[in-house]
A = this chain, B = another copy of it.
Amino acid sequence: MSVTRFFNGYYLDYGGAVVRGEVHIEGGRIVYAGVARTNAAPKYSRQIDMKDGYLIPGFKNCHTHSAMTALRGLGEDLPLLKWLNDCVFPLEAKLTPEDVYWGTKLAILEYVRGGTTAISDMYFFEDEIARAVTESGFKCVAVGSAMDISKDAEGQLAEIEALFLKYGRADANFSFRLGHHAEYTASDTLLKGMAYLVNKYKAPIYHHLSESRGEVEGCAARTGLTPPLRLAELGLYNYGGAGYHCINLTDADVVVMKKFGVAVVSCPMSNLKVAGIAPIWRYRNAGLEIAVGTDGAASANTLDMFQETRLLSALQKGVLSQSEVMGAELSLLAAVSTGARVLGLHDCDGIQAGKTADLALIDVNSPQMQPASNPLCDIVYSARPENVRLTMVNGKILYEDGDYKINEAPERIYAEVKKIVKRIRA
């Protein structure tokens, strides 16, 4: 028996309170979470002194484009369409499968450094994402990224179904779910095909949703419906799923999404930089599930879930000029627990016996974490990736005290991504 014991600190319990106690891990699972066991005598294979720090379920980054790390910093401060058309799309067209592999590896370094234990990745060359994730011991629920502006719908649908059949049964590290880019980048054929797959496999769907006013107005002009209403009518929401961004939902959209169990994945920093501010407090009060993502590094720059969680609260307070709304606990649970359930990862949505050990240990030995009067608020409003001492996925440590325990050295990954940038910008 090999039991790892976290002791002398606090953990976020399943109800959302930070409590003093200890947590034991065995065989990739949490086997004990509760008060300190002073006189118990199991044979621990390792004892980790938390030094008054906080053990939390790892962040679930529910919307990202990992390999866009290669595009970080390119085309900044440009108008949105110019950025997409003159920068992102032409550069992405030059990316090879190997490039997506290395870009994903760079992202994984950043994820584990910042306490993220699972992501939902929407990018192309999914086999390369699977390779990068699986050999790193990381966790990813990939979703289809189909758009048929320049490609044929049938080919894309066949590819998505093939990926779903290949990776659809979740394993410990990589799985694949139905998805496509967005309503406004899909033909009727693609949307109807996606609806067919949703209903054939009784599976949820994931896509960008009502991110810009323009796409909502365009959909209304074409179809007489907002995107969520149109997608619901086509049958895409029969098994739930999630919409990314959702900056421009009407009250009628919210009612329909609640009825079908379609969650909102909010990406606050990316939204600020290229789109706007989503009225998350309104959605939450109307009963929608809220999860958190970073979006890709080309718009959000970093893949820092502490920043996104903090902004999820702070932006609602600021926009409404009401300091009491969207408290720290709501945002933290959205980022670590609701996110897991939105991705179908019910086994890693919190710290209690029986759950998978996807965890991050936050250190308090840092000026901005002192005097540590309010652990929960310090985690949300003060903590940063630098405060993560250890990140564990499926009970395996992937990052600890400056060392990445994955199969490629950071220096090698940095060098490979630099080569990609040089080539695609040439």
Q: Interface of A with B (CB < 8 Å)?
A: 69-70, 72-74, 76-80, 83, 106-107, 109-110, 113, 213, 269, 271-277, 297, 301-304, 307, 313-315, 317-319, 321-324, 327-328, 365-368, 370-374, 377-378, 381-382, 384-386, 410, 413-414, 417-418, 420-421, 425
Shortest C-beta distance, A314 to chain B (Å), equals: 4
Residues of B within 8 A of A307 (CB): 307
Q: 6 pairs across A/B with beta carbons < 8 Å?
A: A72-B378, A76-B374, A275-B318, A301-B368, A302-B368, A370-B413
- A384 CB contacts on chain B under 8 angstroms: 302, 304, 384-386
A277 CB contacts on chain B under 8 angstroms: 318-319
Which residues of B are found within 8 Å of A271, using beta-carbon distances? 318
Q: Which of A213, A324, A425 has the most CB of B within 10 A?
A: A324
> Is the Cβ of B323 less than 8 Å from the Cβ of A273?
yes
Tell which of B275, B297, B318, B420 touches A321, judged by Cβ atoms closer than 8 Å: B275
Known interface pairs A76-B381, A109-B367; 19 further A-B residue pairs with C-beta atoms within 8 A, sorted by A's residue number = A72-B371, A72-B374, A73-B378, A74-B373, A78-B323, A79-B322, A79-B324, A106-B371, A271-B318, A272-B315, A272-B317, A273-B318, A273-B381, A276-B319, A303-B368, A304-B368, A368-B385, A370-B414, A370-B417
Min CB distance, A116 to chain B, in Å?
A: 12
Partner of A374, one of B74, B80, B382, B420: B74
Q: State whether B323 touches A72 (Cβ < 8 A).
A: no
Q: Is the beta-carbon distance between B323 and A77 smaller than 8 angstroms? A: yes
Q: A216 CA to B358 CA in the complex, in Å?
A: 49
**A314 close to B273 (CB less than 8 A):** yes
Cβ of A107: which chain B residues have Cβ within 8 Å of it? 367
Closest B residue to A299 by beta carbon equals: B323
Residue contact A110 to B323, C-beta cutoff 8 Å: no
Residues in B with CB closer than 8 Å to A410 are 365, 367
- One of B72, B78, B79, B382 near A302 (C-beta < 8 A): B382
Q: How far is the CB of A279 from chain B (nearest CB, A)?
A: 13
Task: Give the residues in chain B near A377, CB-CB below 8 Å.
Answer: 73, 76-77, 301
B371/A76 in contact, CB under 8 A:
no
Q: Which residues of B contact A272 (CB under 8 A)?
A: 314-315, 317-318
A323 close to B368 (CB less than 8 A): no
Is B371's CB under 8 angstroms from A414's CB? yes
Q: How far is the CB of A87 from chain B (nearest CB, A)?
A: 11
Query: What chain B residues lie within 8 Å of A382 (beta carbons)?
Result: 72-73, 301-302
Give Cα A413 to B109, complex, Å: 33
Least Cβ–Cβ distance between A284 and chain B, in angstroms: 14
Chain B residues whose C-beta falls within 8 Å of the C-beta of A274 in the assembled complex: 317, 323
Closest residue on chain B to residue A386 by CB atoms: B386
3 residue pairs, one from A and one from B, having the closest CB atoms: A73-B374, A272-B318, A386-B386
Can you name the residue of chain B whose Cβ is closest to the Cβ of A315? Answer: B272
Known: A106-B367, A110-B367. A72 touches B414 (CB 8 A): no
A213 partner residues in chain B, CB cutoff 8 A: 321
What residues of chain B lie closer than 8 Å to A323, measured between beta carbons?
Answer: 77-80, 83, 273-274
Residues of B within 8 A of A70 (CB): 371
Cα A410 to Cα B365 with chains together (Å): 9
Give the residue name and chain of the B residue nearest to A277 (CB).
B318
Most buried by B among A319, A367, A384, A413: A367
Q: Closest CB-CB distance, A118 to chain B, in whole Å?
A: 17
Q: Which of these, B74, B275, B381, contacts A301 with CB under 8 Å?
A: B381
Q: How far is the CA of A109 from the CA of B371 in the complex (A)?
A: 13
A79: chain B residues at CB < 8 Å are 322-324
